[in-house]
Amino acid sequence: MRISTAQIHQGGIDTILAQQTRLSKTQLQVATGERILTPADDPVGAVRMLDLAREIAIVDQYQRNGDMARTQLSLEDSALTASGNVLQRVRELALQANNDVLSANDRRAIAVEMQAKLDELLALANARDANGDYLFAGYQTGSQPFTISGGAVVYSGDQGQRLLQVGPAMQISVADSGAQVFQLISTGNGVFDIDTNAGNTGSAMVGTTSVNGVFVPDSYTLTFSQIAPGAAVTYQVVGAASGLVASGTYRADAAIVFGGAKITVSGAPADGDSFIVAPARRQDIFSSLSDMIATLQNSGTDAASKAQFHNAVNRGLNNVDQALDHLLRVRGDVGARLNNLDSQQNINEDYILQLEQTLSSVKDLDYAEAVSRLNLQMVALEAAQQAFVKTQGLSLFNFL
């Protein structure tokens, strides 16, 4: 084929320019360490990069939420631990006060300490987090959840539970409401509760209580009767709905069984003495403590008063035990959430690692390949330049 002089010249220049373009792109890749300089280089890869970077950012945010959740849960856990310790001390004080050798004054002294414990518990229930928000107020984190009104502790929070997103499909609860922690505590043995009639004149005291099969919810009245002094004491149990369910001759510490409940009574009941066995209610921990304090402040010395006192303290102790169990359950729940959080955070971390590896494989340059390509392109450019100079020197006019 015939070639024109301009063509030879232009062809040489075009080759050099093309080589320079390729070289410049490789150089930019090596300088930035990135394989994809604009989406047009690899549209699929570029979008994959965007997707992966977004996914990493989202999971990173889950991790930050998780750290936040851990802080909140740890705060709650320490408040719960402290509350448990307070209740343990209350329990010790109650046991101590329940001893007959103590005088009314001693008991009043104990009542003073118990009041201090009640205040301490109240302070714990009104604990705040680093932002000044109340921990146990449900959604009402701006106002103090537990206040004293008319001598009783009133809960003004709600039952909301705050969740945080810690994984793609996992929200974790970072707070329990004060109602959940301090208020919804069963009385008695958790199933039923025994109330001593305030007018009892005998020395009958409630002993052990247990559930026998399935407790049939009803309000039962256990009444003792004695036809004449010295005669045998009999009892009968009448349910408000179920009518007469049990009766018999009273023997101290013998089990009285009815409606799924099994109780023992000791001491000498007087004629007409009665106890009321009702399904357990929910009671807040503060009323249980206040009741106990009131009991400690007014202890009598006669047999009937003693029996009343011990029955009240025992009942209070039952409530404290329930509260301790309850706190333990909440703490167990918090611990379980922390465990869940740990495993979710581990999963997140692994996921981020995987995503980053994938991102790196999409985004990052293979340096070995790129550098050898760079060398090759430099050699090619040099060759093109030399060839250009050499061929440009050739002309027939040189020989004319």
Partner 1 sequence: MAEILGIGTSALLSLQKALSTTGHNIANVNTEGYNRQRVEFTTLPPQLSGSGFIGNGVQITTVRRAYDEFIAGQVLSQTASQSGLDAYVSLANRLDNLLASDSSGLSPALQQFFDSIQAVAANPSGLPERQVMLAEAQALADRFAFLDRSLVGLEAEVNNRLTVMVDEINGLATNIARLNQEITVATGTAGGQPPNDLLDQRDLLLTQLSKKIGITTVGLADGSVNVMIGSGQPLVVGAAAQPITTVASALDPNRLEIGIKTPNGGTAVISQFLSGGEISGVMDFRTRVLDPARNELGRLAAVVTDTFNAQHRLGMDSNGQLGADFFTPLSPVTVAATGNAGTATVAVTVTDASALAASDYRLNYDGSQWLVTRIADNKTVTGAGPFNLDGLTIAVSGTPALGDSFLVRPVHDAAGAFAVALTDVSRIAVAAPVRASANLSNTGTAAIAEVAVQSATGLPLAAPITLTFNPNALGAGVPGFDVGGGPGGPLAFDPALDSNGKTFTLSGFGDMRFTVRGIPQAGDTLVLEHNSGGRGDNRNGLLLAGLQTQRLVNNGASTFGEAYGSLVADVGVKTRQGQANLNTQNILLQQAVDARESVSGVNLDEEAARLLRLQQAYQAAARIVSVADGLFQTLLDATRR
Residues that bind partner 1 (CB under 8 A): 1-7, 14, 38-44, 46-47, 50-51, 53-54, 57-58, 61, 64-65, 68, 131, 133-134, 137-143, 155, 158-160, 162-165, 168, 171, 175, 179, 183-184, 217, 279-282, 284, 395-397, 400
User: What residues form DSSP beta bridges with 247?
Assistant: 236
* Of residues 159 and 305, the one with the C-beta less far from partner 1: 159
CB of 133 to partner 1, least distance (A): 6
CB of 201 to partner 1, least distance (A): 31
- Gyration radius (Cα) of the chain, Å: 41
- Assess contact for 125 and 177: CB atoms under 8 A: no
Instruction: Please tell me the distance from the alpha carbon of residue 164 to that of residue 266, in angstroms, as a whole number.
Output: 53
* Of residues 37 and 123, the one with the C-beta less far from partner 1: 37
CB of 367 to partner 1, least distance (A): 22
Instruction: Please tell me the distance from the alpha carbon of residue 98 to that of residue 88, in angstroms, as a whole number.
Output: 15
DSSP labels, 111-174: HHHHHHHHHHHHHHHT-B-TTS-BTTSTT-TTS-SEEEETTEEEE-S-----EEEEETTEEEE-
* Of residues 5 and 105, the one with the C-beta less far from partner 1: 5
* Of residues 171 and 301, the one with the C-beta less far from partner 1: 171
* Of residues 241 and 389, the one with the C-beta less far from partner 1: 241
CB of 298 to partner 1, least distance (A): 27
CB of 271 to partner 1, least distance (A): 33
C-alpha to C-alpha distances, 193 to 221, 234, 281, 325, 330, nearest whole angstrom: 12, 22, 8, 16, 22
CB of 339 to partner 1, least distance (A): 20
* Of residues 7 and 74, the one with the C-beta less far from partner 1: 7
In 3-state terms, the chain is what percent helix, strand and coil (to 5)? 55, 20, 25
CB of 351 to partner 1, least distance (A): 14
* Of residues 106 and 388, the one with the C-beta less far from partner 1: 388
Q: Report the candidate in 25, 73, 14, 110 with the shortest Cα–Cα distance to residue 316.
A: 110
Instruction: Please tell me the distance from the alpha carbon of residue 49 to that of residue 359, in angstroms, as a whole number.
Output: 6
CB of 87 to partner 1, least distance (A): 20
- Burial class, 5, CB count within 10 angstroms (exposed 0-12 / middle 13-18 / buried 19+): exposed
CB of 286 to partner 1, least distance (A): 13
Phi and psi for 379 in degrees, rounded to 5? -60, -45
* Of residues 89 and 388, the one with the C-beta less far from partner 1: 388
Instruction: Please tell me the distance from the alpha carbon of residue 198 to that of residue 86, in angstroms, as a whole number.
Output: 29
Residue tagged 């101590």 (tokens)? 96
**Angle (deg, nearest 10), helices 43-97 and 285-297:** 10
* Of residues 2 and 151, the one with the C-beta less far from partner 1: 2
- List the structure tokens of 124: 């714990």
